[in-house]
Structure 1
Amino acid sequence: MDRLAALEKDPAARERSYAAAQERILLCSKCHGEDGNSRRDYIPNLAGQNPQYLFDAFEKYVTRQRTDFVMNQAAKLLTLDERVNIAFYFSQQKVHPRPVAEPVDNALVAQGAQRFGTLCVACHGAAALGRDGIPRIAGQPRPYLSHALQRYRDKDPSRADSPMLGVAASLSDGDIAALAAYLSQLQP
């Protein structure tokens, strides 16, 4: 965290970090895109994400507090400095939400907005942009959001120690569909 904070204060260090990350993101770009915009609907966009959240996620993959076969392997290949640089790099990219193939169900989006306002806004913020160690969920791909919320609700062990386990425990399938519809159409 100290390294990320130092980058925020030093323009020359930010430039060096950004350049160093550009050399190491080849592996990340296969799924998350060179600019952090996901190539697949089931993979999250990293562009514009909170750098502290990205770094925390990296560290959880390194220590296996969070499990995903690809991410656990990738995180182990990177040094601490590289993980900091990559988190900073993706946080500086512009989000380009993927176009939704299916028509927007305005009633479902409205239901998602209502549920978001009562359940999610306190942590993720009114515009779902997150803060500090809490992720931006606005503009994430709908299938990714649905799958992630289901995993939290079902207490998937790969998401152990997340406050989302308790929050999502009460979500119905309808709630998840509504939240995913609402959040995916929000412009970050």
Structure 2
Amino acid sequence: MGRVVLLWVLLCASAQAWGQSSEMMDRLAALEKDPAKREQAYAAAEDRILLCSKCHGKDGNSKRDYIPNLAGQNPQYLFDAFEKYVSGERTDFVMNQAAKLLTLQERVNVAFYFSQQKVQPKAEATVLDKTLVEQGAQRFATVCVTCHGPAALGHDGFPRIAGQPRVYLTHALQRYRDKDPSRAGSPMLGVAALLSDEDITALTAYLSQLQPAP
């Protein structure tokens, strides 16, 4: 009986998550069609990103190299990440608390707001070796391009990783490869398992120097 109840709870949670994602897509589609609604969503988000801006920057460009840029990110991916933090499927002490402070509409607004910001990649402190960057490009083409796209800009629920800080990319790939429980269920676990330390070094060199589309 306990297993039946547990299964029912999981099914309900899954249905609720799908319903929220579907509603989010409907709301984003409505924003795309209505300039007035886009302006309202953007303005509303500016009032709710104070906490976000302390780490990710008001314009979505992170203040620390171990924190991802949200500027120019796919809004669907950002919203999906919010939902995973709200549900606890993805764990981070700050993000789990912050995401729960926002309503569904506020999460849509914030995702839309950051998607409209321009990426400003930080210059590397040291000049990257061209051979290393080329190795990263080749490895990217074999394991990353299908989901993240040829320019690493992502699409739909897949994130933009072009121009992300190298420290953040390295830490993220290592966590996936090491099967960090906070990333349980991600398709990246299987992909990262294929990567050696040398692969991660090359990939992060390549991705961090990519210039996202203006």
TM-score, scaled relative to structure 1: 0.98
Write out per-residue CA displacement over residues 155-178 of structure 1, whole angstroms, 9 at most, x where no aligned residue: 111111111111111100110011
Question: For 2:81, which of 43, 54, 57 is the aligned residue?
Answer: 57
Question: For 1:127, which of 147, 151, 159 is the aligned residue?
Answer: 151
- Please report how far the alpha carbon of residue 8 of structure 1 lies from its aligned counterpart in structure 2 after TM superposition: 1.3
- What percentage of aligned pairs have identical amino acids? 81
Write out per-residue CA displacement over residues 106-165 of structure 1, whole angstroms, 9 at most, x where no aligned residue: 111111000000110011000000000000000000000000000111111111111111
Query: Structure 1: 5+ residue runs without aligned partners?
Result: none
Equivalent residue pairs, number: 188
Question: For 2:177, which of 143, 146, 153 is the aligned residue?
Answer: 153
Q: Does 1:66 align with 2:90?
A: yes
C-alpha separation in 2, matches of 1:162 and 1:13: 33
C-alpha separation in 1, matches of 2:178 and 2:41: 38
- The equivalences for 1:42-53 within 5 A come to 42-53=66-77
Question: For 1:12, which of 3, 26, 36 is the aligned residue?
Answer: 36
Q: Does 1:25 align with 2:34?
A: no
Match of 1:162 in 2: 186
Write out per-residue CA displacement over residues 30-65 of structure 1, whole angstroms, 9 at most, x where no aligned residue: 000000000000000000000000000000000011
Paired AA for residue 119 in structure 1: V
Question: For 1:142, which of 163, 166, 170 is the aligned residue?
Answer: 166
Question: For 1:94, which of 100, 104, 118 is the aligned residue?
Answer: 118
Q: Does 1:34 align with 2:69?
A: no
Match of 1:76 in 2: 100
Say what the alpha-carbon RMSD is for the aligned residues.
0.6
Larger-Rg structure: 2
Moved more, 30-39 or 76-85: 76-85
Match of 1:184 in 2: 208
- State the SS of the aligned residue for 1:118: helix
Paired AA for residue 62 in structure 1: V
Question: For 2:131, which of 107, 131, 147 is the aligned residue?
Answer: 107
Query: Once superposed, which parts of structure 1, at least 4 consecutive aligned residues long, lie more than 2 Å away?
Result: none
TM-score, scaled relative to structure 2: 0.87
**Greater relative CO, 1 or 2 (CA 8 Å, sep 6+):** 1
- Please report how far the alpha carbon of residue 6 of structure 1 lies from its aligned counterpart in structure 2 after TM superposition: 1.4
C-alpha separation in 1, matches of 2:175 and 2:210: 22
Query: Structure 2: 5+ residue runs without aligned partners?
Result: 1-24
Paired AA for residue 58 in structure 1: F
- Please report how far the alpha carbon of residue 103 of structure 1 lies from its aligned counterpart in structure 2 after TM superposition: 1.7
